[in-house]
Structure 1
Amino acid sequence: MSFMSKIVLATTLVVSLYAVIVFLFSFPAAQRALVYCNWLQLPSKFDVPESYGYAHNHARNIKITTSDNVTLGAWHFVPLEYHMKHQLREKEHVQDSVFDAALADAQYDTVIYFHGNAMNRAAPWRVDLYKALSEKFRRLNIITIDYRGFGDSDGVPDEQGLHLDAKATLEWLYARNVTHEHISLIGHSLGTGVATALAYDMTKEGMPPNALILKAAYSSLPNLIFEYRLLQYLPILAPLRTMPPVQNWLLSKLLHKFDSLSRIEFVGCPILITYGAKDLEIPGHNSQQLFHRAIYGSKASPPLFTLQWLEHDQQIQRTIVPNEATVFKSATHRPQIQLVCLDHADHNNVGYFDYAYQAMADLTGWQR
């Protein structure tokens, strides 16, 4: 076989394999595997949070039951101030009522954390985030859940199921006398769609959260899938943008939308959108687009989503924090809406940068 024949054969094989991958993505099971990656797991000791470096009795392992009878695994971290005040480290066993009292106490706030795809609530970068939140905000309860099909939770993930998981977590807090004014929502990556949908529902019910915080957000999955980079460097479906008929066909088969763009303008609480300037998985213009929609709504003509339009918008205040971040705030919109571009962050390490927590404190009123 000649060299040219080998080139042709290899090219044919690659194109054929790619066509098979695209075709498989039109099936529900393949979509689920690629969107959620919940099959990617590591063994974890969910019932022993101390094994991840937390103080004894700082966290408890809990179970939350959804309206469709799915059991979710979750952790509840009490505020460090409460943990020290009640000397929980020195006690061998603490009753659930003691943890519940930390939630019901009006001097403490509570945040629900919705993580991204793959792994579970015990993934190393998530463990580090809970520690940082606890240490930065010592009067903060933290609830972090594993969606259905993740970690030790039952079930199989889909968009409606994850929405039920979020609602069940909220109801679990309501049952423990936590009011909506003391509940904030944080979502990362996949979790930004879950958090935004819950904030939207809470607003419709007249009980908006204290704040909505989005990290490394996407505007919607239909907008993202053709530019998403797997493992930061592999834009699997990007070539389809040159083939509109195939692109439209695949979009018609997409079962999971997570359309934050259509919801965020109706969220009635302060909003913080944070992303890394070096994020190669989800381009930063997704966060910029959400910021614009939250301020101006869907009736406004969308700008070209670059930092330049933000810099020239007279209604947007820009602040540069040297070597840390560029901060954009609406000068007129109430409640406050902020966009923070962290200079040195990428997709998964937004929580490693101090200004991310300063922005949270500025928006929420949490004490640092």
Structure 2
Amino acid sequence: MRRVVLFLLVPNLVLVLMFAWLQRSMMYFPARVAAVPTSECGLPPDRIHEIEVPVADEMRLAGWLALATGQAADDSADGLAKLSDGRNLLLYFPGNAGHRGYRANAIADFTELGLDVVLVDYRGFAENTGKPAEAVLHADAREIQTWLAGRGVSAERLILFGESLGSAVAVRLAADLCREGTPPAGLLLRAPFSSMTETACHHYPWLPVRWMLIDRYESIDHIGDVTCPLTIVHGTDDQLVPVRLSRNLFEAAPSRSAAGIERRFIELPGVGHNAMPREPIVEAARELIPGSEESNGDQEHAG
């Protein structure tokens, strides 16, 4: 009997230990490169510039500044100077794979709306040193926001955009800014989750994930403090982040922003996690720009 018990327990114990040891390598999939040329973005050279943001641990994180259509700058310093012109800026927090070059089309789309765009790759992604982890991603996001504020971009001019894992980073930053009385202009989330814990439980129901997970990304604990306009876009055929987790997050958010703008949930039938068309995201971003025509109602759309 003892041998039977050991035979059943040992494989499960090995799985638990492997998950505990490898969990971050199963969560983050950075594309490592020596550099990401701005030419990969496809924008004119005077509208896309390399930037570096100083963060903790004496590190500098590389990223891109893309200027809105109709804007131009000779270099990154000139481009940064133009940020004080008063346009809204979309601060982009990407998912858990690739690097900023993979988001070139999306960046270009947002600039066509008259938005400046900043995307700074996470630690360990692209040419950035270090390793990604929840605590440092949140801290770095705040450093980036502070860095932008020092260049004339107030929190109230920011539209925070988070996709997948980046949604948790965006939610946390939005909540922190709202708690401080400086809410961003809007929060746009693509395929978000209520928590990484719930997502991991969905994929590994046989493992004691709730006791083991290090980077938990509990967005549902922070979304209730988000008082800026909120839009969530999710596909019904998402196999990585089930749409129900996105709905759980949506239901935990305030029904209206402090300015009275109702939250929006845009559901895309038959759309998977990595096959979402760009148009619904672009249109959602357009409607978050202050001064745009807002629709009424606690909106839930089928795209």
| Match 1:75 to one of 64, 76, 98 | 64
Matched residue of 2:197: which SS?
A: helix
**2:110 aligned residue:** 133
- Contact persistence 1:268–1:335 (CA under 8 A): no
**1:338 aligned residue:** 264
- Contact persistence 1:193–1:259 (CA under 8 A): yes
TM-score of the two chains, using structure 2 as the length reference: 0.86
Amino acid at match of 2:266: V
- Contact persistence 1:45–1:51 (CA under 8 A): no
Deviations along 1:75-113, whole A, 9 cap, x unmatched? 000111213xxxx5xxxxx2434202321111x110110
**2:301 aligned residue:** none
Instruction: Say how many residue pairs are matched.
Output: 287
Deviations along 1:332-359, whole A, 9 cap, x unmatched? 9934211000224321233x24233222
Amino acid at match of 1:72: L
Give yes or no for the alignment of 1:23 onto 2:17: yes
Distance 1:257 1:49, change over 3 A: same
Matched residue of 2:101: which SS?
A: coil
1:177-256, aligned counterparts within 5 Å? Answer: 177-228=152-203, 237-238=204-205, 240=206, 246-247=207-208, 250-256=209-215
Give yes or no for the alignment of 1:263 onto 2:263: no
**1:37 aligned residue:** 29
Give yes or no for the alignment of 1:292 onto 2:251: yes
Amino acid at match of 2:98: M
Matched residue of 1:256: which SS?
A: coil
C-alpha distance in 1, partners of 2:12/2:45? 50
How far has the Cα of 1:18 moved from its partner? 6.8
Give yes or no for the alignment of 1:359 onto 2:278: no
Matched residue of 2:98: which SS?
A: coil
C-alpha distance in 1, partners of 2:77/2:50? 14
- Contact persistence 1:200–1:263 (CA under 8 A): yes
How far has the Cα of 1:282 moved from its partner? 0.5
How far has the Cα of 1:52 moved from its partner? 4.0
C-alpha distance in 1, partners of 2:241/2:268? 14
C-alpha distance in 2, partners of 1:37/1:226? 19
Matched residue of 2:27: which SS?
A: helix
C-alpha distance in 1, partners of 2:11/2:111? 47
**1:142 aligned residue:** 117
Deviations along 1:29-79, whole A, 9 cap, x unmatched? x121111123xx264642x21144222222111111113322211100011
| Match 2:130 to one of 155, 160, 176 | 155
Distance 1:150 1:122, change over 3 A: same
Amino acid at match of 1:117: N
Amino acid at match of 1:109: N
Distance 1:259 1:331, change over 3 A: closer
Amino acid at match of 1:35: M
| Cα RMSD for the two superposed structures | 2.5
Deviations along 1:139-181, whole A, 9 cap, x unmatched? 2110011111111112111111001110111011011011111
**1:99 aligned residue:** 79
How far has the Cα of 1:367 moved from its partner? 6.4
Amino acid at match of 1:171: T
Matched residue of 2:135: which SS?
A: helix
**2:55 aligned residue:** 66
Matched residue of 2:104: which SS?
A: helix
Matched residue of 2:70: which SS?
A: helix
Distance 1:154 1:99, change over 3 A: same
Distance 1:254 1:58, change over 3 A: same
Aligned sequence identity (%): 28
Deviations along 1:266-293, whole A, 9 cap, x unmatched? 1110001111122111100111111111
Distance 1:176 1:21, change over 3 A: same
Q: What residue ranges of structure 1 are gaps of 5+ in the alignment?
A: 1-11, 89-93, 229-236, 241-245, 297-329
C-alpha distance in 1, partners of 2:10/2:259? 51
- Contact persistence 1:360–1:366 (CA under 8 A): no
| Match 2:96 to one of 91, 96, 117 | 117
| Match 1:273 to one of 226, 232, 246 | 232
